[in-house]
Amino acid sequence: MARGSNAKFEVANRIRDSFGNDFVGASGGKLYVWADDGGERVQIALAMTCPKVFLNCETSVPEVAKTGAGIDFEAVPQKKAEVTQEELDRLAAMMSKLGL
């Protein structure tokens, strides 16, 4: 049996019990639940893994803003994608080959 199998089974049961009728099921190693997204019902897929390296809460929690309702995913700072010169050169070469 894989490491964490018993623990994942226990966590899945807790999630199922917590969500009640909003628990959809499990497929492909993910648990699916219904949630309200501001008046629209959406499904949320929860992936369950047993990480080799544990999360250090003392250093990781400050990266995420917390609200009264839990974690505010919108408040997590997002890195802006930066296009490198190499990528620009490749794009120019591709466009040239395509006659664009």
Confidence check: pLDDT of 50 > 80: yes
Mean pLDDT of the chain: 83
The pLDDT-based confidence of 55 (bands split at 50, 70, 90) is confident
pLDDT at 78: 63
Name 73's Cβ contacts closer than 8 Å, sequence gap at least 6.
64
The per-residue pLDDT for range 65-86, each reduced to its tens digit, is 555 556 666 655 667 778 899 9
Is residue 28 very low, low, confident or very high in pLDDT (cuts 50, 70, 90)?
confident
Burial of 31 from C-beta contacts in 10 A (0-12 / 13-18 / 19+): buried
Angle at 22 between CA 27 and CA 61, to 5 degrees: 80
